[in-house]
Amino acid sequence: MTPKDDEMKFCLVAAIAVGLVSSAAGAAPSDPAAARIEAFDAALVATMKQGPALGAKGRFHRLESVVEDAFDLPLMTRFAVGAPWAGMSEAERQALVHGFSRLTAANYAHNFDRFDGERFEVSPQVQTRGLDKIVQSRLIPAGRAPVNLTYRMRLADGQWKIVDVYYDAISQLTTRHSDFAGPLAKGGEKGLLTHLDEASAKLLQ
């Protein structure tokens, strides 16, 4: 082998080594909280691409388990209900968690109904605030201004789960709390359940 051959071999090995390092760096896992959002966004896009064929109820059934996996729905329900939660029985609480879970999945099925070239960007820079992690994301529609999404996440059974979503800095959990106050004041747990069921049915028409 000539010196020139040795030089070429060295360059080839070096190039392969750099490629392997770059590949490994690109495949490095993101923060587990950010990874949860990336997986949720991917499921949304996959459902959107089949949205018209699935229909509202088909999208709901596709996303129901995805939402239950990504969100800490019992904690969110308790926060949204507020003070009346303390005086409810376990059966009443479970019924409200079920109703809130259904409404959350129905809301995504309604709002993410088709794919028009949208994409999500999740920031790898995750902030820690006390018990929570804050994950920044953006929904980028084709040809339109991005929508800023901020996810507040907390550990539940060893996994990071969403406990609130901020759309352009507006807390959806706070919005739900305000929305639930009227039905709770008028009809208690049963009144709120009726409200949840009616809202879900309307979204899935």
What CATH code is carried by the domain that includes residue 58?
3.10.450.710
Q: Compute mean pLDDT per 10 residues along the chain, 205 residues long, and list them.
A: 40 34 39 96 97 97 98 98 97 98 98 96 95 96 93 96 94 97 97 98 97
Strands 132-140 and 147-156, by their bridges, are antiparallel
Can you name the residues that pair with 120 across neighbouring β-strands? 139
Q: In the prediction, which pLDDT does 30 show?
A: 76
Do residues 165 and 149 lie in contact, with contact meaning Cβ atoms separated by under 8 Å?
yes
Q: Which parts of 77-169 are beta strand (E)?
A: 119-122, 127-129, 132-140, 147-156, 159-167
Cα separation of 28 and 77, whole Å? Answer: 35
* Domain annotation covers residue 7: no
pLDDT, position 168: 84
Specify the pLDDT at position 52: 97
Establish if 18 belongs to a structural domain: no
Kindly state whether residue 73 falls inside one of the protein's structural domains.
Answer: yes
CB 132 within 8 A of CB 153: yes
Residue 170: in which H helix or E strand, if any?
A: strand 170-171
Question: Domain limits at 127?
Answer: 30-203
Domain-located, residue 145: yes
- Does residue 37 sit within a domain? yes
Number of domains making up the chain: 1
Whether pTM exceeds 0.75:
yes
Place of tokens 């587990």: 32
Is 123 a domain residue? yes
Can you give the C-alpha Rg of the chain in angstroms?
23
Q: CA neighbours within 13 Å on the CB side: how many for 81?
A: 30
In a domain, 106, yes or no: yes
Domain membership flag for residue 13: no
Residue 166 dihedral angles phi and psi, to the nearest 5°: -110, 120
